[in-house]
Structure 1
């Protein structure tokens, strides 16, 4: 999730659990502690694929953060006994608070589609539960209101109760997002079964700023993928299109470690496009139909016609377009309530990806 939401969650947790002892400072301390896992953004890597796949790594590990909470709570207790004999802290509650503030950061991140390495250093595929968009006002605003109320009124019983209510609501909202994702996946699978189409994997991801309309992806055994859009209010089958992942072009990256790492990080939700003399690899999970957030040039054809892997770079055509195209998002949000007219999925593919986008 975005950094502001992470800080609000940390402030709400520490305020609810330690507000009686720390007062308003609990909100500040919790907000600061909750941002610690994102300090890895200051680590600079040699290429954007490494930057993407090492983010949410060791600093988001439940093992590392549990050890940090243990060390931090022990240190605070030692300092408090020395400086403030009547501090009012109890180590179990202090440890629980620090642990929750820290580990809820990567857990909340895992509810987005990006990918979070909760079990680092184990080499399991990063968790990508895709229940909410990376910025979701419905999740964040109740936390903001509760924290603001506590900051103004102090951390009395009423404020701590409101913080608890906001935390319960936010947790239930995440559960609702999971249910919405599974329902969207089931709608697409049912529609494909009715057409006699076999798929090997299905993954739904929420559209920008809402969990009411979903982009649903499905892989076919022959290397194609299906991209569909489904609203929670739908009664009919979702609109969809079938496209090629061009996986035969992945052979040009055989043995390239960064390509293998990208496949691992994305659970192989990748598409390959040869654009001129460049091989562009696209992460299909993030973005809107045809307008994907992460595209990388990973190979180039030389003057002799031979393909060579290159240091990855971000691929972005210089047309001034935004990842959050206003016209596209307007049609997508309208899609929450009505399926007519259908979204111009094929037009978007061609518009954002060029002629090869509709292939």
Structure 2
């Protein structure tokens, strides 16, 4: 999730059991602690562009790192709140705030290494966008009221709001999944892999991508309560058999980097349609119906012993934005 929402959720967790004496200091402690986990975005190496992607949502988001992350947060924050909190209180409020970071990212896409170091597998539920203003607004209002009134009842209402909103996302996803399976069945496709996730900043338009016989199919599905679903047929593209295509480079840094990127992309790799020599992560695009990856790696076979370049390829043109808004408000006719 975005850093602001992370901080607000951490503040909510801390204030949910704070008393009036410690209330506001607890809020600030929980807010800062929850945001601390995302400092992993600064772990990078200019010579190895994929390192930053691998480290984000890694050890700092593991459930096993929570006690240590809370300890680091305590040592940093206590000097600011020691007039209001004991060291023990600071640690427990930090623990409550920090614990929310990895868990809340688990509800989004991309994946979190929740059980690092025992496994480097990324887990995600894909039921809420990394940025959802409706979700965040409810937390802002209720957490803000709790802060000014110093009443934890409002914090519990904020938690209830989060549970309600995430539950709505879960049911929307399940409905989208059933529709996706029906679409594939009607076309005689056997689904090998399926990704169903919300598009940016909403729970109404869902992105569907499924693999069948090494081909990737995309659909957009608009689900508005008490209305019939609107299905937008998208593009298709062959998935890249990178192991075969780059077999001659096995043992090189080039091959290893493609393998690393494939793992980060859950093996949903395609050739970017608009950028030559770019392999893209096909799970993400500006529209749910297109296969123009938002990011990818540029392959230079003349430099097999150097790390690949990583780039972003977002197309936020007025036409793309208009297409998305038409889907969101149901104005686009399939």
Normalised TM-score (structure 2):
0.83
Shift of 1:129: 1.8
Q: Structure 1: how far apart are the matches of 2:76 and 2:281?
A: 43
Go from structure 1 to structure 2 and tell me whether the alpha carbon gap of 1:124 and 1:51 turns closer, same or farther (over 3 Å shift). Answer: closer
Q: Structure 2: how far apart are the matches of 1:210 and 1:76?
A: 34
Structure 2, unaligned runs of 5 or more:
none
Q: Structure 2: how far apart are the matches of 1:193 and 1:105?
A: 38
| Residues 109 and 124, structure 2, Cα contact 8 Å, conserved in 1 | yes
Partner of 1:121: 117
Deviation per residue, 1:27-82 (Å, 9 max, x gap): 211111111111212222233322112211111111011344478789999xx9xx
SS in 1 for 2:277: strand
Partner of 2:64: 63
Q: Is 1:141 paired with 2:119?
A: no
What is the aligned counterpart of 2:237 among 234, 240, 243?
243
Please give the residue correspondences for 1:288-327 in structure 2 after superposition, counting only pairs within 5 Å: 288=286, 289-297=290-298, 299-302=299-302, 308=304, 310-315=306-311, 322-327=314-319
Partner of 1:282: 280
Go from structure 1 to structure 2 and tell me whether the alpha carbon gap of 1:76 and 1:310 turns closer, same or farther (over 3 Å shift). Answer: closer
Deviation per residue, 1:300-345 (Å, 9 max, x gap): 244xxxx83642213457xxxx444443233223223437433xxx
User: Which entry has the higher C-alpha Rg, 1 or 2?
Assistant: 1
Shift of 1:119: 0.9
Q: Structure 2: how far apart are the matches of 1:225 and 1:247?
A: 12
Normalised TM-score (structure 1):
0.78
Structure 1, unaligned runs of 5 or more:
343-359
SS in 1 for 2:18: helix
SS in 2 for 1:112: coil
Q: Structure 1: how far apart are the matches of 2:154 and 2:7?
A: 17
Q: Structure 2: how far apart are the matches of 1:135 and 1:250?
A: 37
| Residues 143 and 158, structure 2, Cα contact 8 Å, conserved in 1 | no
Partner of 1:349: none
SS in 2 for 1:300: coil
Q: Structure 2: how far apart are the matches of 1:21 and 1:166?
A: 21
Shift of 1:138: 1.3
